[in-house]
Amino acid sequence: MPQIFELFGFPLIDDTQAARSGRANAFCPFMGRVCDGGGNRYSSHLHLARLPEVLALYPGRETLPAGVCSIRLVADGEPWIVCPRRLMALNRNRQDGDTHQGDSESRILRLLRYPAGTTLGVWSEVKLMYKQQVRTPAGNRQKKFDYTFDYVLMPLGRVTQEQAVHASGIDWGLLSRHLRDSGFTIAQRERTTYIEDFPTGIPSIIEIMTSSTSGGNKAKRTTIANAVEDALRGNEHKAPGINYRQVWARMVSQLIVKSEVALNWGGRTIWLVQDVLVDYICASTALDVRQFLAEGLDEVNVLSLTYGNKSHEQHGVIELGVDGVFAGPMAAGVDGANVRPSFQDMVRAVLKPEITRLVKLLVSKRPLNRIATPRAIGNGQH
């Protein structure tokens, strides 16, 4: 039976003072601030006015984020992470000196290979929508790029007004207003205008792909909100399962596009996933991710994180380890007489069942309808 494994950063069974304090304050140790619901978002918030027993634990609050980090599907199985903040929060509050996710972040920075001492700006949920008229054989067509990047990392540096205008493509009047509204420092030195900490250099994209839940059933109290309510009240709870196919569909629809865009900018995209998702992709598609084990980056890059044997720990915030770096080409190529594997294999069938498998299903029940094709033209019949 699926159950919550981690709530507000700690194993649910952790009854230490640190865990109780985190739950009492709805605090996310990975972001370093109050939980925002992460992957569960606002639809799973608990409305405390209708839950007096839970409200007593959180006086003064109207709503409570669900705060579910991970779900364990079977006893002793590795939990599935359902909150992207649990996997990586690059926008975390760095004032409290915590070291959570530090090893994983360091691995990312080493892979990106920026020069030592580079200061990187971090932007989260960057929505880029761009339209362009493109000439095609069928005539002019409007093409649209409309994607949101989980994180964009880009070096920060001092640039002149002219450099900022050239880099952004915005005239100085409008750009200067944007910069001031966003809190950038604009300084005048020896009749030259400078902007401090301006994004300049090669950008990198970091994408976080965690699992989706199956939604659950309110009548059976298996939704995220129901499970959290029951768990906080100290009752037995049932969490929703994992929607494996939705996870794979979301990833495959963006994997190549976002990797290709970063390459076009001179950078790279790194996808952060959990090892159980890597195993699922290997089992359900023609892509054997683990054959692309690598030390550095390529066109498509996946950093797999894991609980390892730590998933049996019962106290404290569990730090994830690195399962492996997997990097390879986007598209298939020819290597001698063989077709070179690529990440496009993710959209190919892992198996091709024989037609007998289909017929076996079809003869198990009668057809719902019968449709006659039109008679052939030219045989004298109308």
Confidence of residue 20 (pLDDT cuts 50, 70, 90): very high
**Mean pLDDT within 37-45:** 70
CA atoms within 13 A on the CB side of 353: 7
Instruction: Give the model's pLDDT for residue 18.
Output: 93
**CB-CB contact of 116 with 152 (8 Å):** no
Instruction: Give the model's pLDDT for residue 219.
Output: 87
Instruction: Give the model's pLDDT for residue 375.
Output: 85
pLDDT tens column, 272-319 = 999 999 999 999 888 999 999 999 999 999 999 999 989 888 889 999
**Helix, strand, or coil here: 211?**
coil
pLDDT tens column, 141-151 = 888 989 999 99
Phi-psi region of 220 (alpha: psi -120 to 50; beta: other; left: phi over 0): alpha
Q: Is the pLDDT of residue 205 over 80?
A: yes
Among 41-45, 292-296, 350-354, the least confident range: 41-45
**CB-CB contact of 124 with 151 (8 Å):** yes
Instruction: Give the model's pLDDT for residue 335.
Output: 67
Q: What share of the chain in percent tops pLDDT 70?
A: 95
Instruction: Give the model's pLDDT for residue 380.
Output: 54
pTM recorded for the entire structure: 0.89
**Mean pLDDT within 122-131:** 92
Confidence of residue 55 (pLDDT cuts 50, 70, 90): confident
Q: Is the pLDDT of residue 197 over 70?
A: yes
Instruction: Give the model's pLDDT for residue 128.
Output: 92
**CB-CB contact of 39 with 219 (8 Å):** no
Instruction: Give the model's pLDDT for residue 345.
Output: 87
Instruction: Give the model's pLDDT for residue 43.
Output: 67
- Arithmetic mean of pLDDT over the chain: 89
Q: For residues 90 and 123, what is the distance between their CA atoms, to the nearest angstrom? A: 9
Among 151-160, 290-299, 365-374, the least confident range: 365-374
**Helix, strand, or coil here: 167?**
helix
Confidence of residue 21 (pLDDT cuts 50, 70, 90): very high
Instruction: Give the model's pLDDT for residue 166.
Output: 94
What one-character-per-residue DSSP string does 179-194 give? HHHHT--EEEETTEEE
DSSP annotation of 161: H
Q: For residues 223 and 217, what is the distance between their CA atoms, to the nearest angstrom? A: 6
Q: Is the pLDDT of residue 42 over 70?
A: no
Query: Is 211 exposed, middle or buried (CB count within 10 Å of its CB: 0-12, 13-18, 19+)?
Result: buried
